[in-house]
Amino acid sequence: MSAFYGMTARSLRGEPVTFKDYAGKAVLAVNTATHCGLAPQYAGLEALYGKYRDRGLVVLAFPCNQFGRQEPGDDEAIGQTCQRNYGVTFPVFGKIEVNGPGAHPLFQWLTARLPGLVGRRVRWNFTKFLIGRDGMPLKRFAPITAPARLEPAVRAALGA
């Protein structure tokens, strides 16, 4: 079984969520920030989720304040902004770190398996990681990659 399924994260309400709940789904894990210039990607992520969720895609958003302090709010403010500004219905988790000694285990694992241009670090908000239905990392996408451009990879991960 993939290490992904043994991990957990805290929901915006502070409750633990086990990634075992996503077994058999293709997962798009994204580090996000509501005050980032790329925040409009939330709408694109929601559109991708809406189009493919019935086929087994789940988008998981992980707010992070490590890049230009662009996620300064608390979990309640993050949730309100995601819902009000972008209509987000996919899971958004509590704020985490994605780089350094305090990095969440998910991002330690993803960056070790899918290093980017700057190695094992996440370069900026809205770096995207596609995880297959078997819980194995498939592909990493740059922050500027629009969610619509992920469709071919998502379809392949879904077996379409």
Residue among 106, 31, 40, 44 nearest 71 (CA): 31
- Orientation of helix 151-158 relative to helix 41-52, angle to 10°: 30
Q: What is the DSSP string of 46-66?
A: HHHHHHHGGGTEEEEEEEB--
Contacts with 111 (C-beta within 8 Å, 6 or more apart), sequence order: 98, 103, 120, 121, 122
Q: Quote the longest CA-to-CA distance of the chain.
A: 39
3-state class (DSSP) for residue 44: helix
DSSP symbol at 103: B
Residue among 6, 82, 71 nearest 49 (CA): 82
Catalytic residue among 65, 85, 99, 125: 85
Q: 85 an active-site residue?
A: yes
Which residues are catalytically annotated?
85
